[in-house]
Amino acid sequence: MTHVLTALAWPYANGPRHIGHVAGFGVPADVFARYMRMRGHDVLMVSGTDEHGTPILVQADSEGLTAAEAAAKYNRIIVEDLDALGLSYDLFTRTTTGNHYKTVQELFSTLYGNGYILQKKTLGAISPSTGRTLPDRYIEGTCPHCGFDSARGDQCDNCGRQLDPTDLIDPKSRINGETPKFVEEDHFFLDLPAFADALNAWLDTRTGWRTNVLRFTKNLLDEMHPRPISRDLDWGVPIPLEGWIDRPDKRLYVWFDAVIGYLSATIEWARRSGDPDAWKRWWQDPEAVSYYFMGKDNIVFHSEIWPAMLLGANGEGANGGEPGPLGKLNLPTEVVSSEFLTMEGKQFSSSRRVVIYVRDFLERYSPDALRYYICAAGPENQDSDFTWAEFLRRNNDELVAGWGNLVNRSIAMAAKNFGAVPEPGELEEVDRELLATTKAAFDTVGDLIGANKVRAGIGEAMKAVAAANKYLADTAPWKMKEDPKRQGTVLYTVLQAVSDLKTVMSPFLPHSSQRVHELLGGEGVFAPMPFIEEVADLDEGQGATDGPYPILTGDYSDVPKWESVPLVPGTVLEKPTPVFTKLEPSIVDEEIERLNA
Ligand SMILES: [Zn+2]
């Protein structure tokens, strides 16, 4: 048994999430975590909402809310959506908790003490009329990269680049239109060049990574500069140094605190579990492994910057040092990055309304219908396009006509003719062949999921489904009225195949596997689901928000093993209701109309 940290990118809490987000990392990571648990590993799946930074403030302004109110609002919506999709988080939390603040500040202090945080003079903006610091987001100007005329002082919303206020052409205050005055002031930088050698050596030990991630990261190392980690901002984690901690206008940069979330969420989980040191099993045990899941726009933070921060906290960069109070921490085992999902040929965009939110999707379709599409056609290795026509085809032709039909026909026939799982007679060659096929799927599908090849994995599982459907068609047990013994053997065989396949399918399609388990007369939880719990902040008065908040958690201690379990003849079977819903072709036009409305 290995300790497996499954670390998912932190959704940004400035709005509800669309299906592109969950396609990139949510569902693939959940498939991996569920499979690894069934293999007997001690999995911890953590993440939360990323709630600091300018976009939260901008969204809050537009809704007449405070930043804390806006973050709380979208945190709750996102928690509910991820729950509805059945993503089996051990803990999905948020970055505004006292526990997160403490962890971030501890890591900052260790990096600072080890000499990896530089204090440098940079030009900061002040308002000439008030003499006060002008936060980055209140400065607007033309982006030097793309020419967009409403870029903000910290980033350009058009080209997505991070900016400094001094980069802007013709900067203006958004408060009163005056031209800001730039004065020298201190800011903090992560000394990335001090990690170039250590990162290179570490990357050389990484095998099995997707080649795009490795190549991209190696290229980054050719040109490293100190990276700013503090901003002129009033919403974020305070800087834990004397003279800084109480300043309301200086905060740690949002990305710096967000990547530390993987560690702080594990610590929060441990504290909530009643064993506060339990987090060390995933972060300090040299045998533990960690898999980070994200979209390709976030690779840099997971393959370069977060590993650099961990090396610095361990005292393993060029400036030396000692591990801090959190001890020597594990670097990522693998960085699993997906490509982008587009929608009917266009980039998802909330502002241009090319979007389908997870919530809206799940109001009309089942979570497993979406999970199936994402697993079978998601942006695993290349950009992929979501179209409603393809969703309809995959749902009706593959999920309903393939897997759903196999389940329904076989259980209905056995229920009607035997009322139970029939007692088999001597198996014939064709029976043994089918059972060998579904048993072999445990190895082939399992190996593919373990290598994060979800698309190929579900493809292999569906091949075994097709083999079972072909077996039914070839043996035609409905024509065996005269030979109940042979009919019982055939139905037993196909039910055993269905039972195996519900296990093989369960990481991809947990909701329907639970149903199939019950239709086969099984009791209790087969594919455990997360649940929402309202909790109090563990460190009240320290984070940015107080009072209860929803976390996503679950009990996954009792998952079935990744293996074939013999069905017990005589187990009572009832007439099944369909596991999946066939969709009307008219949904395609309806959905496209909704999109264009
Ligand atoms: Zn730009």
Angle between helices 510-519 and 405-417 (to 10 degrees): 10
Residue 348 near residue 338, CB atoms below 8 Å: no
Do the annotations mark residue 146 as ligand-binding?
yes
Distance 595 CA to ligand 1 centre (A): 27
Distance 168 CA to ligand 1 centre (A): 10
The two three-digit tokens of residue 180, written as one number: 């800001």
Helix (H) or strand (E) holding 4: strand 3-8
Distance 156 CA to ligand 1 centre (A): 5
Give the start-end residues of each E strand in 158-249.
169-173, 181-190, 227-228, 230-232
Distance 422 CA to ligand 1 centre (A): 67
The two three-digit tokens of residue 407, written as one number: 């389940």
The two three-digit tokens of residue 450, written as one number: 């373990």
Comparing CA positions, the residue from 468, 497, 484 lying closest to residue 417 is: 484
Which pLDDT does position 23 carry in this prediction?
94
Distance 350 CA to ligand 1 centre (A): 18
Helix (H) or strand (E) holding 171: strand 169-173
Distance 120 CA to ligand 1 centre (A): 26
Distance 158 CA to ligand 1 centre (A): 5
Distance 530 CA to ligand 1 centre (A): 40
Distance 143 CA to ligand 1 centre (A): 5
What whole-number distance in Å separates Cα of residue 448 and Cα of residue 164? 43
Distance 18 CA to ligand 1 centre (A): 24
How does pLDDT run across 358-400, given as a tens digit for each residue? 999 999 999 999 999 999 999 998 999 999 999 999 999 999 9
Which pLDDT does position 174 carry in this prediction?
86
556 contacts: CB under 8 Å, gap ≥ 6: 37, 43, 88, 90, 528
The residues whose Cβ lies within 5 A of ligand 1, an ion, are 143, 145-146, 148, 156, 158-159
Angle between helices 211-221 and 196-204 (to 10 degrees): 160
pLDDT tens for the 597 residues of the chain, in order: 799 999 999 999 999 999 999 998 899 999 999 999 999 999 999 999 999 988 898 899 889 999 999 999 999 999 999 999 999 999 999 999 999 999 999 999 999 999 999 999 988 888 898 877 788 878 999 999 999 999 998 888 888 788 889 999 999 998 889 999 999 989 999 999 999 999 999 999 998 898 889 998 999 898 899 999 998 888 999 999 999 999 988 999 999 999 999 999 999 999 999 999 999 999 999 999 999 999 988 899 999 999 999 999 999 999 999 999 999 999 999 999 999 999 888 888 776 778 899 999 999 999 999 999 999 999 998 999 999 999 999 999 999 999 999 999 999 999 999 999 999 999 999 999 999 999 999 999 999 999 999 999 999 999 999 999 999 999 999 999 999 999 999 999 999 999 999 999 999 999 999 999 999 999 999 999 999 999 999 998 888 887 799 999 999 999 999 999 999 999 999 999 999 999 999 999 999 998 887
Distance 160 CA to ligand 1 centre (A): 6
Distance 234 CA to ligand 1 centre (A): 24
Distance 67 CA to ligand 1 centre (A): 25
Residue 420 near residue 573, CB atoms below 8 Å: yes
Helix residue ranges, H only, 205-240: 211-221
The burial class, CB within 10 Å (0-12 / 13-18 / 19+), for 340 is middle
- Beginning with the edge strand found earlier in the chain, give each strand of the sheet holding 139-142 in spatial order: 151-152, 139-142, 169-173
Side chain identity, residue 380: E
Do the annotations mark residue 375 as ligand-binding?
no
- What 8-state DSSP symbol labels residue 478? G
Residue 460: how many other CB atoms lie within 10 Å: 20
What whole-number distance in Å separates Cα of residue 199 and Cα of residue 100? 26
Distance 145 CA to ligand 1 centre (A): 5
The two three-digit tokens of residue 554, written as one number: 């679950």
Distance 184 CA to ligand 1 centre (A): 25
Do the annotations mark residue 156 as ligand-binding?
yes
Is residue 74 helix, strand or coil? helix
Distance 231 CA to ligand 1 centre (A): 19
Going from the C-alpha of 274 to that of each of 214, 269, 543, the distances in angstroms are 38, 9, 21
Distance 342 CA to ligand 1 centre (A): 21
What whole-number distance in Å separates Cα of residue 119 and Cα of residue 140? 26
Residue 46 near residue 266, CB atoms below 8 Å: yes
Going from the C-alpha of 548 to that of each of 15, 97, 457, 539, the distances in angstroms are 20, 10, 40, 12
The alpha carbon of 514 is separated from its chain's Cα centroid by a whole number of angstroms, namely 22
Length of the chain: 597
CA dihedral sign, ordered 17, 256, 379, 371? negative
Distance 594 CA to ligand 1 centre (A): 31
Is residue 329 helix, strand or coil? coil
Residue 439 near residue 461, CB atoms below 8 Å: no
Distance 155 CA to ligand 1 centre (A): 8
The burial class, CB within 10 Å (0-12 / 13-18 / 19+), for 215 is exposed
What whole-number distance in Å separates Cα of residue 245 and Cα of residue 234? 12
Distance 254 CA to ligand 1 centre (A): 19
What whole-number distance in Å separates Cα of residue 402 and Cα of residue 372? 12
What whole-number distance in Å separates Cα of residue 456 and Cα of residue 450? 11
Tokens 């075994």 map to which residue? 464
What whole-number distance in Å separates Cα of residue 412 and Cα of residue 400? 15
The two three-digit tokens of residue 189, written as one number: 């930088």
pTM: 0.94
Distance 72 CA to ligand 1 centre (A): 29
Distance 64 CA to ligand 1 centre (A): 27
